[in-house]
């Protein structure tokens, strides 16, 4: 369609252009210092992220995946243990459990939020014999129901590790920052995250000094003191160039979050005006066949790492193609729930085991939501979706 704006799912160039002078100076500072691994730049970022997440300890590491590995290792998760997590999330959540020889035990999600469902968690945990931890994910930037999950974890006597890879700065119903509620929180600074590095980067956060100390040793091959190893750890260090870039960007994170929230509210209004309902209503119940994300309630802070709509499965892929033809980038997060991934077939949870996770995989589509998205671009996206769904519904 000539004349229509092109709208990528994410465009990081405007962010870099706006901060170029500051970021280039920060990179030059590290290059000048010739100190590339850990060191003062990383320590400064750790302090800043700890303050931002309202925890006492933060440790930079090489990725969100390594953050999960460090957390599980520090809690003593090992071969034969079980760790409960949602079936609908990025692979790394469960991959890190399996990588340690432990068994991911999948629970279903709440269809309104895509987050771990407490009822399913309770039910699945009942069948566990060696449950070592619960690993909720704050998917798309919205906190999992932490108060309910804390009650369950307390009853079971197991710790919570939070996968906050998509949720830096989001808050739960009690206003607590993602990653600060459980024993350990895991962050990712993958470039497409709301705070993105110029490569792979991650962090573990905690309020427990002993656990933080254990993770800091595990991060460097289990080495303490130098060249003495009481445990076998990882090489999971954060490099100083990433930390320097992240420190510049962190100062702008709240403004960017405000931009994402404003864009989400604009989409919500456009879809509501076209007779769509929010995600708390089942898809089958009349109006435009689209559900936009459930609005945050109470003290909840949704940071909209992704803005994910739900449409009937039979229309989803056609809608994606229609938007692609109009120059609009979208993504399916995620097309296959984890219990149906080939590598987890050995766990024996087949089709229909976790119906909400399976329906989400068939019905969801992520739209452009980045802060620099213009009003014209957003109207083009929302209008293209509404016209397609109206025609399909006629």
- Give the binding site for ligand PLP (CB under 6 A): 63-65, 89-90, 92-93, 137, 163, 165-166, 188, 190, 200, 202
Task: Mark out the alpha helices in the chain (DSSP H runs).
Answer: 13-33, 40-53, 64-74, 92-99, 118-126, 146-156, 209-218, 240-250, 253-273, 313-325, 355-363, 375-393
What are 371's two structure tokens? 């802060």
Q: Which residue has the closest beta carbon to ligand PLP? A: 64
CA distances from 338 to 90, 102, 342, 343, 357 (A): 8, 15, 9, 9, 9
CA distances from 287 to 158, 269, 281, 291, 292 (A): 44, 15, 11, 10, 13
| Shorter beta-carbon distance to ligand PLP: residue 64 or 296 | 64
β-sheet with 307-310: strand ranges across? 277-278, 291-292, 307-310, 364-367
Residue 369 CA to residue 39 CA, distance in Å, equals 35
Least distance from C-beta 64 to ligand PLP, angstroms?
Answer: 2
Least distance from C-beta 110 to ligand PLP, angstroms?
Answer: 16
Dihedral-angle region of residue 121 (phi above 0 means left; psi in -120 to 50 means alpha; beta otherwise): alpha
| Shorter beta-carbon distance to ligand PLP: residue 93 or 180 | 93
| Shorter beta-carbon distance to ligand PLP: residue 191 or 329 | 191
| Shorter beta-carbon distance to ligand PLP: residue 85 or 153 | 85
**Range 174-178 contact pairs with CB under 8 angstroms and sequence separation of 24 or more:** 174/146, 174/147, 174/299, 175/299, 175/301, 176/54, 176/146, 177/52, 177/53, 177/54, 177/55, 178/53, 178/138, 178/143
Least distance from C-beta 393 to ligand PLP, angstroms?
Answer: 32
Least distance from C-beta 200 to ligand PLP, angstroms?
Answer: 6
Least distance from C-beta 97 to ligand PLP, angstroms?
Answer: 12
Least distance from C-beta 192 to ligand PLP, angstroms?
Answer: 8
Judge contact between 133 and 159, C-beta under 8 A: yes
Other residues' Cβ atoms within 10 Å of the Cβ of residue 387:
13
Least distance from C-beta 21 to ligand PLP, angstroms?
Answer: 27
Least distance from C-beta 325 to ligand PLP, angstroms?
Answer: 28
Judge contact between 113 and 300, C-beta under 8 A: no
Least distance from C-beta 66 to ligand PLP, angstroms?
Answer: 7
Would you give the distance in Å from CA 190 to the centre of its chain?
Answer: 10
Spell out the residues 6+ positions from residue 369 whose beta carbon is closer than 8 angstroms to its own. 260, 263, 264, 267, 304, 306, 307
Would you give the distance in Å from CA 159 to the centre of its chain?
Answer: 20
């Amino acid at each position: 369609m000539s004349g229509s704006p092109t709208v990528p799912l994410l465009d990081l160039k405007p962010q870099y252009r706006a901060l170029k002078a500051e970021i280039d100076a920060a990179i030059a500072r590290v290059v000048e210092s010739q100190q590339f691994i850990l060191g003062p730049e990383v320590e400064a970022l750790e302090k800043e992220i700890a303050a931002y997440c309202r925890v006492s300890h933060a440790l930079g590491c090489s990725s969100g995946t390594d953050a999960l590995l460090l957390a599980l290792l520090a809690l003593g998760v090992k071969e034969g243990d079980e760790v409960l997590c949602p079936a609908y999330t990025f692979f790394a959540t469960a991959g890190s459990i399996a990588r340690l020889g432990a068994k991911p035990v999948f629970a279903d999600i709440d269809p309104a939020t895509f987050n771990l469902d407490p009822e399913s968690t309770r039910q699945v945990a009942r069948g566990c014999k060696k449950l070592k931890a619960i690993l909720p994910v704050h998917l798309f930037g919205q906190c999992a129901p932490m108060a309910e999950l804390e009650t369950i974890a307390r009853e079971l006597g197991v710790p919570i590790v939070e996968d906050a890879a998509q949720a830096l700065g989001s808050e739960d119903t009690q206003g607590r920052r993602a990653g600060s509620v459980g024993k350990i929180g895991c962050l990712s600074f993958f470039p497409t995250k709301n705070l993105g590095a110029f490569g792979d980067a991650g962090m573990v956060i905690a309020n427990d000094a002993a656990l933080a100390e254990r993770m800091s040793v595990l991060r460097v091959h289990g080495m303490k003191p130098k060249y003495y190893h009481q445990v076998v750890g990882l090489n999971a260090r954060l490099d100083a160039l990433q930390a320097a870039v992240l420190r510049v960007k962190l100062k702008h994170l709240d403004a960017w979050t405000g931009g994402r929230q404003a864009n989400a509210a604009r989409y919500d209004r456009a879809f509501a005006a076209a007779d769509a309902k929010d995600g708390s209503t089942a898809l089958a119940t009349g109006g435009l066949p689209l559900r936009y994300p459930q609005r945050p309630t109470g003290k909840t802070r949704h940071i909209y790492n992704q803005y994910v709509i739900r449409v009937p499965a039979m229309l989803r892929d056609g809608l994606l193609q229609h938007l692609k033809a109009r120059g609009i980038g979208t993504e399916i997060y995620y097309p296959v729930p984890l219990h149906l991934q080939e590598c987890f077939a050995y766990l024996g949870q087949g089709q229909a085991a976790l119906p909400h996770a399976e329906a989400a995989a068939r019905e969801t589509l992520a739209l452009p939501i980045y802060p620099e998205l213009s009003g014209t671009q957003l109207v083009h996206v929302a209008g293209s979706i509404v016209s397609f769904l109206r025609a399909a519904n006629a």
